Structure 1
Amino acid sequence: MTTRIYKEVFFEATHRLIHYQGKCFRLHGHQWRVEVWIDGTADERTGIVLDYNCIKEVVGRFDHQVILNAEDPMAACIETFHPVVTTEGDPTSELLAAVIAGMIDTEAARRGHDARVSKIRVWESTTCYAERIYDRQ
Structure 2
Amino acid sequence: MIQQIYPSVAHPFRYELNKDLQFAAAHYVPAEAAGKCSRVHGHTYFANITIAGNDLDSAGFLVNFSEIKKLIHDLFDHSVLNEHTAYFQDDDPDRFPTTEIVARTICEIIQSFLDRSGNKPRCLQVFLRETPTSYVVYRPMGGGSYGD
Q: TM-score, normalised by structure 1?
A: 0.81
Shift of 1:41: 2.6
Higher normalized helix content (fraction of residues): 2
Q: Deviations over 1:67-126 (max 9, x none)?
A: 11xxxxxxxxxxxxxxx2130421011001111101001112223331111111111111
Shift of 1:44: 5.8
Query: Gapped runs of 5+ residues in structure 2?
Result: 1-12, 90-94
Shift of 1:39: 0.8
User: In percent, how many aligned pairs have the same letter?
Assistant: 27
**Secondary structure, aligned partner of 1:22:** helix
Q: TM-score, normalised by structure 2?
A: 0.76
Give the equivalent residue in structure 1 for 2:54. 41
1:100 has 2:106 as partner: yes
The more displaced of 105-114 and 127-136 is 105-114
- 1:1-137 matches, cutoff 5 A: 2-19=14-31, 20-43=33-56, 45-60=58-73, 61-68=75-82, 84-86=83-85, 87-88=88-89, 89-134=95-140, 135=143, 136-137=145-146
Higher normalized strand content (fraction of residues): 1
**Secondary structure, aligned partner of 2:49:** strand
Query: Gapped runs of 5+ residues in structure 1?
Result: 69-83
* Cα 1:44/1:14, change in 2 over 3 Å: closer
Backbone CA RMSD of aligned residues? 1.6
Paired positions, count = 122
